[in-house]
Chains A and B, each alone.
Chain A
Amino acid sequence: MKFKDYGPNDFDGDEIKEGRGWLPQWWTLMLIAGIVFSVFFVIYYLMILGWNSKEQYAQEIADYQKTHTVVAVKLNDDGSNPLRADAGAIARGQKNFSGLCAACHKADGTGLVGPNLMDDQFLHGNTDAAMYAVIMEGISVEQIKQKPSKGPMPAHKNSFGSQKVLETMAWLADKNSAILPK
């Protein structure tokens, strides 16, 4: 086969030469140290200590529960929200709302796929007690099949807990006077 060329192409006269320099000592040590460390790690960490990721998680949760206790807050006996008109709670409530609820109800509460919470139309009741029940327990897909409404809603008794739910309700009530204490 003939190849197209642009003239002489012998620029490769030099042979590549190789020296026989010694391995730098620190580098040899590093290589050996890596191997020694690995063997040590497997024996000590895995065989003697028996480390595993499952137990590490359990430990992390246990440590957390030791230092954090949940204070349960409840509705007043008459079913109204004890945090109504509490300025601190209202501020925290807004933060809660924008963090979780805004995905469906929009940051200002006027609704996206979730219903508008700033008008006077309520699908599941407009008293503190009714709202508390809906937010805490959510609305399941099955419930919607029985009684069609806007859409399902996750239960927030675990994600928020009663404290944050009541804070959020305090903010909603502060914004919308159609939400009644009882």
Chain B
Amino acid sequence: MTQSVQYDNNIVRWYVISAIVYGLAAMTIGVWIAFQMVFPSWNTPFEFLTFGRLRPIHTNGIIFGFTLSIVFATVFYAVPRLLKTPMWSPVLSRVQFWLYQLTLVGAVITLAMGFTQSKEYAELEWPLDLLVVVWWVIFAVNFFVTLAIRKEQHIYVAIWFFIATIITIAILYIVNNLAIPAGFMKSYSVYSGTTDANIQWWYGHNAVAFVLTTPILGMMYYYLPKHTRLPIFSHRISIIHFWSLIFIYIWAGPHHLLYSPIPDWAQTLGMLFSIMLIAPSWGGMINGFLTLTQAKEKLRTDATLKFILVALTFYGMSTFEGPMMSIRSVNTISHNTDWTIGHVHGGALGWVGGMAFAAIYYLVPRLWNTNLYSEKLAEFHFWTATIGILLYVASMWVSGITEGLMWRATDATGALQYPQWVEIVQVLFPYRVVRGIGGSLFLFGFLVMIYNLIKTIGNKGSGFTQVDLREGDKA
């Protein structure tokens, strides 16, 4: 096939670099604050180094810095290729990129200074919110015009997920961030109390759905068949799991508010739709696994494929664990504990991280037209990352269930067995140390990847050769 269209690879390179920079920053902060929870002295000497200021930088950095960057990289790489036309406006692509960077830098600075709306994953204050809306609209316009002028008539499943992401995030973001400004960098949510809680978790839960799930599924549907050159197992599964996933996900928000003062009917809907969500979520995993099995021999030698496998595994695990935690009786123990933190990291490190690394290992050699410097180092990255995740998730399970049970434990007289809060905190010390070690391992793997990529890019233009991962002779 001849190259009839010139694709804009610059923008993709920028986004890949942006993902790496924000990933490194956010993960480093993550490790730091993990150790703050065992060594409180790590909170000093500067006020912006306290846990309460760093945590939103960590979460926003991972979600909107690292993840969104690699999602944008994928969109600007894959969408033109799938639609066989360059992005409609390279100028808008660039405007979006720089406004996005401005937002991220602004986010780091303002969050460190304590300017926050205090809604999880919607912490940014109103001037930055407006900026976000501007570049999201620019992105949407650029994307949808490209879609309209496409040369390939058929819209591939990866693009379905990107469409869902763009629409849903726009709606969620605007509704949840409605606030009355009370000065520069200070505002109050227009909603109050239970209404605010309900809207926040409708947003918060679906930020997970439409930033950390649907675009990552889009990535899976692109990189997996491109990298292996194997057909996606089933278009039928794609149809069913796409529509059921996006329809059901939206309802599940109130599972964050079980046994809270919001009405019981809303809580029940949140719980039931979470349980219904297992099958749609697993649809993506099954389609991925059944595609992967056609190349199972190559799993042994190919790190990118391994990352996709581990991503799908953690996706399947987290999307089962989440609905379990949404069941009222389980939530009684798990709510507010470290278990929740473990759950979110299983998804973020395993699923999002795994898929993002696969994307980076796929993109960098192609973008700089060279081969990966060292497959061995990629392999090493894979194992440190995987062991890191397992340590993290396992320690948080133990820690979460331990505190959940200790909070409710009563002695023979029916009185609380551990009336002193700090007694329980002390018991969790070793698990939180292990968590910090797990996170450090993951970060170390990330550093190895950066080294590997720097060496790879140093060799740019030397020519890329694709390894054929298909088994036998299926040409």
Contacts and interface: CB of A to CB of B under 8 A. Distances in A.
Given A3-B10, A21-B234, A34-B279, A68 B414 contact: yes
A9 B90 CA distance: 18
B106 interface: no
B10 A4 contact: yes
Nearest to B233: A21
Interface in B2-30: 2-3, 6-10
Size bin of chain A's contact surface = 35 or more
A5 B13 CA distance: 11
A7 B369 contact: yes
Given A41-B272, A53-B264, A9 B234 contact: no
Contacts of B283: 27
Interface in B210-246: 222, 225-226, 229-238, 240, 244
Given A18-B238, A19-B234, A1 B91 contact: yes
Nearest to A99: B419
A146 to B, nearest CB: 32
Given A18-B231, A34-B278, A38-B273, A24 B420 contact: no
B294 to A, nearest CB: 10
Contact of B280 (A17, A31, A41, A100): A31
A37 B226 contact: no
Given A11-B366, A21-B233, A99-B420, A31 B279 contact: yes
A59 B218 CA distance: 48
Nearest to B6: A3
A17 B232 contact: yes
A81 B112 CA distance: 55
A19 B244 contact: no
Contacts of B222: 16
Contacts of B141: none
Given A3-B8, A46-B265, A68-B413, 5 more contacts: A6-B369, A13-B1, A14-B229, A23-B236, A31-B280
Contacts of B275: 34, 37-38
Contact of B225 (A17, A30, A46): A17
Contact of B368 (A6, A24, A64): A6
B156 interface: yes
A10 B1 contact: yes
A16 B225 contact: yes
Interface stretch (B182-190, B298-306, B443-451, B457-465): B457-465
Given A21-B290, A31-B279, A38-B275, A9 B3 contact: yes
B282 interface: yes
Contacts of B235: 18-20
B55 to A, nearest CB: 26
A41 B275 CA distance: 11
B87 to A, nearest CB: 10
Contact of A20 (B234, B240, B265, B290): B234
B259 interface: yes
Given A17-B232, A23-B236, A42 B366 contact: no
Nearest to A36: B276
A37 B377 CA distance: 48
Given A30-B282, A34-B278, A52 B366 contact: no
Interface of B: 1-3, 6-10, 81-82, 90-91, 156-157, 222, 225-226, 229-238, 240, 244, 259, 264-265, 267-268, 272-273, 275-280, 282-283, 286, 290, 366-370, 413-414, 419-420, 460-461, 463-464, 466
Contact of B286 (A17, A24, A64): A24
A35 B268 contact: no
29 contacts: A1-B90, A3-B6, A3-B9, A4-B10, A5-B369, A6-B370, A8-B369, A11-B464, A11-B466, A16-B222, A17-B231, A18-B234, A18-B238, A21-B290, A22-B236, A23-B236, A23-B237, A27-B286, A30-B278, A34-B277, A35-B276, A37-B275, A38-B275, A42-B268, A42-B272, A46-B265, A52-B264, A53-B259, A53-B267
Contacts of B278: 30, 34
Nearest to B224: A16
Given A1-B90, A30-B278, A20 B9 contact: no
B369 A19 contact: no
Interface in A38-89: 38, 41-42, 45-46, 51-53, 64, 67-68
Nearest to B294: A19
Interface centre among A27, A37, A64 (most CB of B within 10 A): A27
Interface centre among A18, A19, A20, A52 (most CB of B within 10 A): A18
B330 to A, nearest CB: 15
Contacts of B9: 3, 5, 9
Given A38-B275, A98-B420, A8 B236 contact: no
Contacts of A3: 6-10, 90
B229 A19 contact: no
B6 to A, nearest CB: 7
A12 interface: yes
Given A19-B231, A53-B259, A12 B226 contact: yes
